[in-house]
Chain A
């Protein structure tokens, strides 16, 4: 097992190297260049140097005077020394900006993922055990609605009903205006209040597919011969479903859960924008659009690391839940 993990880690490093290079090359090839935009802006000012002169100066300043390969090697050299550089757009170190915004997105991601799991998996199991019943149809309709509803529409609907009409939750933002005057508990409640609607949006939008996935896999397992064996043993229906069937359904679910790891950190662009939350989804979007190479490189490579890690964890969990793939 240890050998397997080490081998996988080494493979991951090679993959990561190429992923980083591809991202870097793409960033350099983008038509939007942060440096060009800046040079144009500076050259427009009165009594300024010409655009060409500014370009030359800025390119040298931002270390972009080499080709793609040289630029990448420079970037890699710094990264190995754990120096991710300063963000061009935000003019502070990349890691600092990242730390500033990741917390909010991570909390939202973890909470919504948790609710997604505890709602979608049981509903999927219930729908499968009562196939073609009213419950099954109800669950399927909810799942389909969740998959089909556009985020912006559903979020706007929630805001209309729960913020504008009922006034239960805040429309957007992280804290209310009177936040500094509240005591510690009040501050916590205030923050929680602001997060309810974004999290509800994320859960409803994402749980549909997991629900369908659980249902499909559970149905497959319930029709398997060994479930009939379990029934022939005279076990109770509860034991058959939760002890025999669900354990075998876990195997495909683990892949999905492992694949969700980067999702916890990647933020949710549309939801964050709609609720005016400065999360990583929104910030990374702004950085990418403005051509901020250091920040985008850090963010995308970080997600690549998480994706590879998520796959590795899923593979290790496979061995835990499925004895057939256990490597001795």
Chain B
């Protein structure tokens, strides 16, 4: 009985953060669980803990990369921040200092223009029944971004910025290639003049030559419109190229988070080290020292106790099996969640004492 209740209990203890104007987005202990229905009368028998306490801050005009293997909750994090997958389970999402999940329907409608998303799959994320001009322009009219007279010029301009021709407006999505479709998705998101864009693996469905074009387009647009990106990807080279800060996720948790240079030059968490050792080096004479992780990723419905990574960690200690590690700032702005650094003097401690 008690075991059953344990499975259903949601631990929602966190210290609330105060809004800080230097950050466009503050995510604090964000949790998103999906109920598992079972039994004859379909009641909740457990949860898939897709996002299980993710904390990070995002400065205005920067790009944060979010990496991790498939199924670790990157995409769910991105969607949960935009309140696109129902209600959150716990934690805070402050966008421009305001809790996103406290907004009513009207305020939510208005804030949609400020935060946008580019989905992973440019083939399924465009309605097959709408011409491209309508896909891009529908929300522009819905939110009254520009006046009726300027509307056509505005759409042409947005399309031009994203490398699309005005005559593409009357065509349907199926008439475009993958790269062009992703441009349509980008144009669609940018037509609303957002401040913050979640790029959910925007290039993983495209071939490498097109990937570079899209990444460069995203970079150019960021400079032009002072955009903030949350760039979700499993392609580490792309993340290294585009990001200012990087977060590494494992099984619903952020295990390491910091400046891109710090993370790539000095990875601290054993998982990050293993992940980065898999980056291919385009030089056949260099022998790669790959750290191969044992086993497979545990089920997010029933994650291991203590540190979630302990089942696959090469440096697993006794404490890891029972006690979950805390987030610790090792260098300024470089956080890690691992017991290996319990004895290392963190930056945070110095400031507090």
Of B13-21, B123-131, B269-277, the stretch lying at the interface with chain A is: B123-131
Please tell me if A224 contacts chain B, counting CB pairs below 8 Å: yes
Closest to A221 in B: B127
B172 close to A323 (CB less than 8 A) = yes
Tell yes or no: B109 within 8 A of A by CB: yes
Given contacts A226-B125, A323-B128, contact A232 B138 (CB under 8 A): no
A117-152: contact bitstring with B at CB < 8 Å (1 yes, 0 no)?
000000000000000100000000000000000000
User: Inside 8 A of A230's CB, which chain B residues have their CB?
Assistant: 127
Q: Across the interface, do B174 and A323 meet the contact criterion of CB distance under 8 Å?
A: yes
Q: Which residue of A lies closest to B125 (CB)?
A: A225
Verify if A165 is at the interface (C-beta below 8 Å from B). no
Q: Is the CB of A235 within 8 A of B142?
A: yes
Contact of B143 with A by CB under 8 A: yes
Q: Does A322 contact B (CB under 8 A)?
A: yes
CB closest chain-B residue, reference A250: B129
CB-CB under 8 A from A322, the residues of chain B are 128-129
- A233 within 8 A of partner (CB): yes
Chain A residues 228 to 242 lying within 8 A of chain B, measured CB to CB, are 228-236, 239
> Could you tell me if B42 and A248 are in contact, using CB atoms closer than 8 angstroms?
no
Tell me whether chain A's interface is mostly helix, strand or loop, or mixed: helix
Least distance between B41 CB and chain A CB atoms (Å): 11
* B residues near A323, Cβ cutoff 8 Å: 128-129, 131, 172, 174
CB distance from A229 to the nearest CB of B (A): 5
Contact of B127 with A233 in the complex, beta carbons under 8 Å: no
Inter-chain CA distance A244–B130, complex, in Å, is: 9
- Is A247 engaged at the interface, CB distance under 8 Å to the other chain? yes
Considering the chains assembled together, what is the distance between the CA atoms of A324 and B129 in angstroms? 8
B93 lies within 8 A of chain A by Cβ: no
Known: A231-B84, A248-B127, A321-B129. 15 other contacts (CB 8 A): A132-B42, A224-B124, A225-B124, A225-B125, A226-B124, A228-B125, A229-B119, A229-B188, A232-B82, A232-B84, A233-B192, A234-B139, A234-B142, A248-B128, A323-B129
A-B contact pairs, 29 of them (CB 8 A): A225-B124, A225-B125, A226-B124, A226-B125, A226-B126, A226-B127, A229-B119, A229-B125, A229-B127, A229-B185, A230-B127, A232-B82, A232-B84, A232-B112, A233-B112, A233-B138, A233-B139, A234-B111, A234-B112, A234-B142, A234-B192, A244-B127, A248-B127, A248-B129, A322-B128, A322-B129, A323-B128, A323-B129, A324-B128
